[in-house]
Amino acid sequence: MRDQPFSELTRTTGTFVFAGQHEHRVVVSPVDGEHLQWVPWGKQASVRQAIAECQKGLRVKKSIRQRAEMLQRIAEQLILNRQELARIINAENGKPIEEAVSEVDYAIGFFRFYGEHVSVLSDRRLRAQPRGHEWTIRYRPAGIAGLIVPWNFPLAMLAKKLSAAIAGGTPCVLKPAEQTPLTSLALMHLLEKAAVPNAWVRWVLGDANMVGKLLCRHSAVRYISFTGSTRVGRILLQQTTERCKRLTLELGGNAPLIVCADANLERVVEHVMLNKFRCAGQTCVCINRIYAHRSIVAELSARLVAQVTTAGLVVPCGDWESKDSPRMGPLINRAGYAKVARHIEDAVAGGGRLVLGGVPLQTPGQDFGCFFPPTIVVDVDENALCTREETFGPFLPIISFEKDRQALSWANRTEFGLAAYVFSSSEARARKLISRLQFGHVGLNSATGPTPEAPFGGIKQSGFGREGGRDGLFEFVESQVIARDRHIPMS
């Protein structure tokens, strides 16, 4: 088993995979516990060596044009291997194939977009000549970057960061989540095929605490880009203070959806379906709580129940491979399952009415097969646990409101500020709500998540820094300004 890769693309050897002494860990399918593949589990020396390799990468310079071409070559490799990458994501994350394919497409978008826009990192000169000087602004690699990513989008979260790093010519040590390292291994082989310079990337895996600490404390690593929990974000913040490192933190969310009395309910349901059940509700932009005007709660919940039932999403488990297999994957593990169950139980105990799904009678005894049915509870109390914590599962609590300002204040009453959604047919009403929402990403009559072309990130305890869009390019570089006195002749 140890010598047998899951896919030709998930071999554990290759230029970008760390070498040296290591142990092995097995990657397990969250669907049925099948052992997918053994992967190397490094020690401190492996991480140090990876950083040392990347230090060499800082000396490898590529022009803007070369970087643009490189990014396009990577995108082409991803396109060529689209189905195989989706198969790997499906196996280790559990999300259905069609969802995995759209994740691959999303990842391709980042390499494409940055391939087209890397020229914004070209040197530029100020038109005006303040102080009688000539001013040139250069964007240089920020130093080695450490990339730490979660398991819910094993390819896309990495693609966001890696595409911007490559655009900036910034070498990086990357650490996938321990649950989903295979997709990132596949990406390493595709980078090789796309002729990414040898010392620009190193893949490491090992104890997350140890890897994180080393990346934070090593003087050559100047920047950490992290997507994951607020808990770990805070640890990284503390660990990087001493050396004043730059950080981009994309942390937890607790996305509210405000449905005004004048909203088009058909469209609301359509968007909830697209947003909420992706990755079984385990994405940071998933709607976590619905605030619906009292006058439309009954109709909205009836429409949602009907739509979820028609979509076949209520099948909680069963033969994954069979034709009737569920359209939604399992939760990643028992801890995730227990949290969703706790939120539902709390909502019902607080007076909520269960209208669909519910906590299954049998809780899973192991970290796989944690299927959870889509669950809807109406008349949830505005102080329920799910309004304060991110559920990360297919549970939709519906809370009624009377006045818009009540919904607004409840929506903002969270320590998080990542994504929020508003549905209304009144431009003025929606504008007013949006201008007061404390979230980095807002959907208007839409519950769409981020796109490669626009910056994405949170405020408050959802983190800081932006990924995607032109803004995302500047996270991986530092500007150096050269103020030159032209009056002094030079040879």
State the residues that interact with ligand ADP by CB under 6 A. 148-150, 175, 177-178, 208-209, 212, 228-229, 232, 235
Q: Which is nearer to ligand ADP, 247 or 378 (CB)?
A: 247
Q: Are 186 and 81 in contact (CB under 8 A)?
A: yes
Nearest CA among 441, 378, 430, 386 for reference residue 408:
430
Q: Which is nearer to ligand ADP, 275 or 283 (CB)?
A: 283
State the Cα–Cα distance between residues 160 and 109, nearest whole angstrom.
9
Nearest-approach distance from CB 228 to ligand ADP, in angstroms: 3
Nearest-approach distance from CB 46 to ligand ADP, in angstroms: 15
Nearest-approach distance from CB 156 to ligand ADP, in angstroms: 14
Q: Are 408 and 433 in contact (CB under 8 A)?
A: yes
Catalytic residue among 53, 250, 390, 467: 250
Catalytic residue among 284, 286, 370, 386: 284
Nearest-approach distance from CB 239 to ligand ADP, in angstroms: 8
Q: Which is nearer to ligand ADP, 184 or 400 (CB)?
A: 184
Q: How many CA atoms lie within 13 A of 150 on its CB side?
A: 18
Nearest-approach distance from CB 159 to ligand ADP, in angstroms: 15
Q: Which is nearer to ligand ADP, 70 or 188 (CB)?
A: 188
Q: Are 149 and 227 in contact (CB under 8 A)?
A: yes
**Can you say how many angstroms the Cα of residue 409 is from the centroid of all Cα atoms in its chain?**
27
> Does 250 qualify as catalytic in the annotation?
yes
**Can you say how many angstroms the Cα of residue 136 is from the centroid of all Cα atoms in its chain?**
35
Q: Which is nearer to ligand ADP, 291 or 392 (CB)?
A: 392
Q: Which is nearer to ligand ADP, 153 or 200 (CB)?
A: 153
Closest CB to ligand ADP: residue number: 212
Nearest-approach distance from CB 340 to ligand ADP, in angstroms: 13
Q: Which is nearer to ligand ADP, 284 or 314 (CB)?
A: 284
State the Cα–Cα distance between residues 119 and 135, nearest whole angstrom.
19
Q: How many CB atoms lie within 10 A of CB 463?
A: 27
Nearest-approach distance from CB 314 to ligand ADP, in angstroms: 25
Q: Which is nearer to ligand ADP, 108 or 148 (CB)?
A: 148
State the Cα–Cα distance between residues 258 and 405, nearest whole angstrom.
11
Nearest-approach distance from CB 394 to ligand ADP, in angstroms: 16
> Does 54 qualify as catalytic in the annotation?
no
Query: Which amino acids are annotated catalytic?
Result: 250, 284
